[in-house]
């Protein structure tokens, strides 16, 4: 017998049995079901009350935030003239999803705000608002003024209202007035609440009942209609609700009354079903799972086809076909991976390495490869896969540089493809150095410094401190004329060496041109800059260049300028240049 035929007969039998059973017990359930529906309707009322209480709390917290606010506190004292234009605007009502935003004095006088008309985007005051303010403030006491929130009927509509005194942001100070916030409960919002609790009808109405009670207007198997007076503990409100209860869940509560009569039949039925399921489903399934584990552990390469149902036999054939296809593809992929010059690594989310090609072993041993994958995943953290792929450029490891692409080939399984770009990276670094450094002194060149100066100008406007040293070699032309340009070059190198040895790591030195150097001292004031300049001069005084004809002592003139937001870069450079010329005359460091 096939599984399809077996389960068809099985479900026909189950359906017939259940149908007869439920027809038999239906009459026993009806009375209890109606009683349970009433109780469930009462629970729904409690949930609805809790929901609206939460809405009151939300509005009260919002009112509290807007009332205990320094700007509002100043506004109520006429010390914040732009408060209305900035805050009491249509966008505020729309963003906060409210209909009333009103600041009043302690005596109820209107300061600013009002009701918001969503159709014409106008904020207005009417007599109903004035009456609402007056009647609300009459109910105030020292106890409730900090916790006033109510659901009322306002302009014939349900309306959530919250009031809070205007205080400083730290909730201190003498109250300067009150903030009224409110929102209408529209029919759409009430419908949303009704749908949330599976309620057919939901209305909030005025009430004049002297005591709280629940009146059931209609109760049958289709719906329950009731009224709850003193809604939210307010004797002026009542809730009318039409509630639809799903009967099936309640009927199950009464099955206990018929379980005893059915136990004997169910036991016999269970034994028969268990025997059939064990023979035709469980044993073949366990055999299939065992063989799949053997294939997984490489104990065998395919499944047997000895099953007593056609479905399991066909399933085993399909699995065997998949295994053959996987084996062929695996051999193809391994061959391609071994032929490529790239690094190929397959790993899972636990960072277990499933496959690596031979080329990977040239660069990493097993421990180094695990360390590299950990480093790669750390650098990739926070990046998102786009269409299952992620590219990360220029990762360094063991003096090598790589570009990588990681592909999510399956859930929690990743393929890492790497390209060695070390040689290209070294060439790029060399080209960058040639483009940014002076070949003679190995300091940064003028072009690079000009770019840096633009960034420094922007940083100085943010309050960061910098000092610029303009250094001019003394008598370089005379040295070139007397001893030749090679000796002059040695003088320039000696000056560059003195600069490098006496500035800090965060400072930047450059050859500005000819016999001129410019040094930028980061996060530095004038006094520190003078000390660094003095060290450079002292270093040069102790140095000496020997030639065949004479011993030359290099010397420099230094102009120092503090960089701040009041000066432009060209102005700073011109001033420093002039100060360096003045230094030639005075023989000492000159600064502005």
Spatial strand order in the sheet of 110-117: 122-124, 110-117, 100-104, 178-184, 157-165, 148-154
For residues 479 and 491, the answer to whether their CB atoms sit within 8 Å is: yes
**Cα–chain center distance at 94:** 26
Record the tokens describing residue 227, joined without a space.
């009224």
Record the tokens describing residue 166, joined without a space.
């205007």
Catalytic residue among 99, 438, 507, 515: 515
The pair phi, psi for residue 465, each rounded to 5°, is -105, 135
For residues 461 and 565, the answer to whether their CB atoms sit within 8 Å is: yes
User: Is 208 noted as a catalytic residue in this protein?
Assistant: no
**Cα–chain center distance at 16:** 55
Record the tokens describing residue 360, joined without a space.
């990977």
Q: For residues 316 and 291, what is the distance between their CA atoms, to the nearest angstrom?
A: 10
Interior/surface letters 481-507, b for 16+ CB within 10 angstroms, e for the rest:
eebeeebbebbbebbbbbbbebbeeeb
E-assigned strand segments in 265-383: 343-348, 353-356
Which residue carries 């006033």 as its tokens? 148
**Quick one: which of 68, 66, 108 has its CA closest to 87?**
66
Dihedral, 420, 424, 427, 433 alpha carbons, nearest 10:
-90
**Quick one: which of 484, 48, 90, 61 has its CA closest to 243?**
48
Q: For residues 382 and 561, what is the distance between their CA atoms, to the nearest angstrom?
A: 44
Residue 526 CB partners (closer than 8 Å, separation 6+) = 467, 560, 562, 591
- Residues with active-site annotation: 515
């Amino acid at each position: 017998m096939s599984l399809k035929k077996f389960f068809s007969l099985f479900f026909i039998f189950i359906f017939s049995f259940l149908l007869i059973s439920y027809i038999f017990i239906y009459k026993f359930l009806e009375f209890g079901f109606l009683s349970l529906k009433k109780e469930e309707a009462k629970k729904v009322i409690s949930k609805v009350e809790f929901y609206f209480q939460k809405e009151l709390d939300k509005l009260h917290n919002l009112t509290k935030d807007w009332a205990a606010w320094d700007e509002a506190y100043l506004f109520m004292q006429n010390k914040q003239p732009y408060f209305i234009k900035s805050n009491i605007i249509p966008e505020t009502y729309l963003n906060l999803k409210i209909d009333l935003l009103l600041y009043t004095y302690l005596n109820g006088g209107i300061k600013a705000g009002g009701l918001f008309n969503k159709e014409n985007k106008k904020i207005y005051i009417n007599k109903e608002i004035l009456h609402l303010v007056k009647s609300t403030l009459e109910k105030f006491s020292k106890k409730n003024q900090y916790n006033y929130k109510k659901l009322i009927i306002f302009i014939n509509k349900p309306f959530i209202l919250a009031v809070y005194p205007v205080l400083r942001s730290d909730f201190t100070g003498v109250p300067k007035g009150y903030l009224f916030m409110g929102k209408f409960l529209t029919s759409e919002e009430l419908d949303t609440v009704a749908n949330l609790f599976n309620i057919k009808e939901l209305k909030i109405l005025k009430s004049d009942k002297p005591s709280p009670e629940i009146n059931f207007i209609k109760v049958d198997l289709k719906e329950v209609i009731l009224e709850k007076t003193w809604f939210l503990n307010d004797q002026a409100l009542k809730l009318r609700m039409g509630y639809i209860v799903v009967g099936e869940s309640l009927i199950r509560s009464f099955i206990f009354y018929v379980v005893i009569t059915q136990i004997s039949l169910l036991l016999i039925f269970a034994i028969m079903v268990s025997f059939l399921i064990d023979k035709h489903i469980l044993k073949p399934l366990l055999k299939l799972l065992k063989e799949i584990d053997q294939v997984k552990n490489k104990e065998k390469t395919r499944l047997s086809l000895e099953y007593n149902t056609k479905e399991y036999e066909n399933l085993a054939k399909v699995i065997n076909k998949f295994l053959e296809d996987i084996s062929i593809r695996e051999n193809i992929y391994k061959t391609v991976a071994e032929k490529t010059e790239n690094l190929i690594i397959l790993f899972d989310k636990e960072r277990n390495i499933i496959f690596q090609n031979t080329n990977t072993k040239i660069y990493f041993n097993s421990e180094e490869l695990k360390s590299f994958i950990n480093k790669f995943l750390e650098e990739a953290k926070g990046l998102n896969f786009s269409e299952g792929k992620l590219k990360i450029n220029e990762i360094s490891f063991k003096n090598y540089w790589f570009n990588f692409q990681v592909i999510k080939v399956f859930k929690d399984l990743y393929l890492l493809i790497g390209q060695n770009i070390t040689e290209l990276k070294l060439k790029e670094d060399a080209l960058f150095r040639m483009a940014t450094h002076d070949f003679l002194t190995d300091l940064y060149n003028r072009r690079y410094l000009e770019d840096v100066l633009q960034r420094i100008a922007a940083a100085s406007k943010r309050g960061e401190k910098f000092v610029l040293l303009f250094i001019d070699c003394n008598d370089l032309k005379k040295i070139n004329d007397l001893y030749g340009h090679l000796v002059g070059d040695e003088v320039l190198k000696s000056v560059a060496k003195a600069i490098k040895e006496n500035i800090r790591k965060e400072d930047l030195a450059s050859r500005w041109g000819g016999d001129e150097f410019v040094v930028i001292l980061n996060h530095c004031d004038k006094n520190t800059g003078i000390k660094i300049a003095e060290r450079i001069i002292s270093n040069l005084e102790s140095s000496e260049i020997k030639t065949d004809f004479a011993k030359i002592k290099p010397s420099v003139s230094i102009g120092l300028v503090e960089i701040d937001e009041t000066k432009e870069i060209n102005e700073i450079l011109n001033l420093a240049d002039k100060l360096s010329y003045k230094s030639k005359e005075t023989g000492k460091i000159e600064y502005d």
